[in-house]
Amino acid sequence: MIPAPSFPLVAAVAPVVVGVVLWAIWASPFALVGALIGPVMVVAHFIDSRRRHRAQSIKDATAQRLTSAAQQRETHAALTSIRDEENRQYPSIATIGQSPSWRPAFDGSTLVRAGSHAREGVQGFPWLVDVANGVSVVGSGDAADSVVQSLVIGISARLGPATSVDAQSWDWPTGIRLSRRDDSLCALSIRCGPSSIESVNRRGELPTSVDAVPDITEGWERVLGLCGSGDAIVEWDDRSACSFGVGRDSAGTLVLDPTSHSPHMAIAGRTGSGKSEFISALLCDWAERFAPAGLSWVGFDFKGGATLAPLARLLNCRGIETDLDPVAAERVWRAIAAEILRRESALMVEGVARIEDSTNMSRLVVVIDEFPELVRLNPGAAETIGAIARRGRSLGMHLVVSTQNASILSRDGLLANLTTHVCFPLGGAHDVTMFLGSPPVRQPRVGEPVIGLSDGSTRTIRVRHGASGGTVVQAPGARLPPLAGPPPTPPIIGSDGFG
């Protein structure tokens, strides 16, 4: 605000002094008149300035009040919008109960809702706590019960169901612990009175009071059931629910196609974890969506053909070799090595550098079930597999490699070039982390792999059932041949490639 004008004393006195001097010199009465008029004009100007200043001050104050009110409304609207968005990301149990479409995120976040609080005068913001290092809730009464129930739901919706539960504690696979009493294993302690949240104490710090209030948690057991049922997993009993893909989660159907962005795939899991069923689902999905002229595959099944032999009827299949005939398998590997050179020459003739720019080249996938056994029986195949992993991206040659021992892929330097990692249960959580590159939100289960995609994201799916044992071949597909007669004999592949 502009300060009020002060009285111009010098301007009022100066005309009087000058008029007196002139009167003394000339003895003229007009000099005294001038000395009187000057101060009068100064005083009149001062009074007018103060009046105008008061009017402007009133106008400015009014405008400031209006601007402040408008800013307060905008701030309130912005805070309300932020609150609504945060409540959408971290809903209360009451909100979840009114939302039939709600599904747990299973995103691995450790920031979860424990109640609500006010922010800058706006009520209803979710009160979030970081449970990464464990949290204990101390106290008795409804407030403590509500906080515990909110935390159980929040953590389970982010990390999946707890793996260890007793009357006083919950533990999750990532090491997070929630305790209903003082617990030295928990870095964060929330203390509650009979009906309110009193303070929060972080390890090594003094307790701080909070203005948070507990949520209404009626019906929390039903919501916990949604988190514990693994709702990200979708049953495939009704095949008509989805006619493509390798499996589904809450985000929808997962499709894994061989492309230059995701050229190769590694599949790891112990015996009986679901690897073979996944491979069958993958190949059947390709057969249903791709013509053989666009995509074909050749298989090496070193379990006597148990996985791939039932899929020999698929028109995309160029041949299947097993450990029962290592000589034939060796011949095919020579053909694959020749195919690499043939494709490089064909692209050179076309004057292009990659398959996307080619007009007459299809994609070829080499599927290997039990990689270590293949390398043991065909040592020379390792060099060809490495060449495909390094150069196959631009040539339209892709790998799908399955193994029970994920470490062998890392030892051979192959895993770094296999961009998609499909992880079934392995020997332990450490093996899973080494294979995926980071700890998963939830450990893989039989038939429910964690898949690390080439873009760095992960999906946990339930594999499409019914694709093993030849059953999918009997399902109505776009290009599946009739079942009359035995499976056709795999084509003889010459040493000059597949062209």
Same domain, residue pair 367 and 453: yes
Is the pLDDT reported for residue 475 higher than 60?
A: no
pLDDT band for position 298 (cuts 50, 70, 90)? very high
* Whole-number percent of the chain with pLDDT over 70: 84
144 and 113 both lie in a single domain: yes
Predicted pLDDT of residue 496: 46
- Pick the range with the lowest mean pLDDT from 22-31, 42-51, 171-180: 22-31
4 compared with 322, residue with greater pLDDT: 322
pLDDT at site 464: 79
Is residue 497 in some structural domain? no
Kindly state whether residues 211 and 355 are assigned to the same domain: no
pLDDT at 238: 37
In a domain, 381, yes or no: yes
pLDDT of residue 224: 86
The Cα–Cα gap between 182 and 132 comes to 17
Enter the tokens of residue 392: 């196959």
Q: Is the pLDDT of residue 13 over 80?
A: no
User: In this structure, is residue 243 part of a structural domain?
Assistant: yes
In a domain, 301, yes or no: yes
pLDDT, residue 466, reads: 53
pLDDT digits (tens, 9 = 90+) for 347-382: 999 999 889 888 888 999 999 998 888 888 888 888
pLDDT beyond 80 at 106: no
Same domain, yes or no: 14 and 48: yes
Residue-wise pLDDT for 118-144, tens only, equals 998 899 999 999 998 999 999 988 999
Q: Cα separations (Å) of 47 from 4, 39, 54, 142? A: 11, 12, 11, 69
The pLDDT score that the predictor gives to residue 385 is: 92
The total number of residues written for the chain in this structure: 499
Q: Give the highest mean pLDDT range of 34-43, 47-56, 159-168, 209-218.
A: 209-218
Residues 253, 321 within the same domain: yes
Residue 283, domain CATH: 3.40.50.300
Query: What mean pLDDT is predicted for residues 431-441?
Result: 88
Per-residue pLDDT of 165-210, as tens digits, reads 887 899 887 788 999 998 888 999 999 998 899 999 998 888 899 9
Q: What's the structural domain count of the chain?
A: 3
pLDDT at res. 253: 85
In a domain, 21, yes or no: yes
Q: Is the pLDDT of residue 473 over 60?
A: no
Domain identity same for 311 and 387: yes
Q: What is the pLDDT of residue 493?
A: 45
Does the pLDDT value for residue 476 go beyond 60?
A: no
Q: Please check whether residues 281 and 430 belong to one and the same domain.
A: yes
Q: What token pair was written down for 362?
A: 């299809």
265 lies in a domain?
yes
Pairing relationship of beta strands 397-403 and 317-322 according to DSSP bridges: unpaired
- What is the C-alpha separation between 260 and 71, in angstroms, rounded? 52
Residues 71 and 99 both lie in one domain: no
Q: Are residues 100 and 75 in the same domain?
A: no
251 and 203 in a common domain: no
Q: Which of 60, 85, 110 is a domain's end point?
A: 85
Among candidate residues 85, 108, 139, the one where a domain is terminated: 85
Residue at 38 is within a domain: yes
Which single residue is written with the structure tokens 């095949």?
Answer: 239
According to the model, what pLDDT value does residue 32 have? 67
Which of 85, 116, 137 corresponds to the end of one domain? 85
Whether residue 241 has pLDDT greater than 80? no
Residue 498, domain member (yes or no)? no
pTM for the structure as a whole: 0.52
Mean pLDDT of 56-70: 86
> Is the per-residue pLDDT at 302 higher than 90?
no
Higher model confidence: residue 266 or residue 290?
A: 266
Do 300 and 459 touch, CB atoms closer than 8 A? no
When mean pLDDT is compared over 6-15, 313-322, 411-420, the highest value belongs to: 313-322
Three-point CA angle 444, 447, 448, nearest 5° = 40
Query: Can you give the residue range of the structural domain that contains 48?
Result: 9-85
- Give the sign of the dihedral formed by CA 67, CA 73, CA 75, CA 78: negative
Question: In this structure, are 215 and 193 located in the same domain?
Answer: yes
Q: How confident is the model at residue 384 (pLDDT cuts 50, 70, 90)?
A: very high
For residues 140 and 286, membership in a common domain is answered with no
Q: For residue 42, is pLDDT > 80? A: no
pLDDT of residue 35: 67
Amino acid at site 203: R
Instruction: Report strand pairing: 265-268 vs 397-403.
Output: parallel
Q: What is the mean pLDDT of the chain?
A: 82
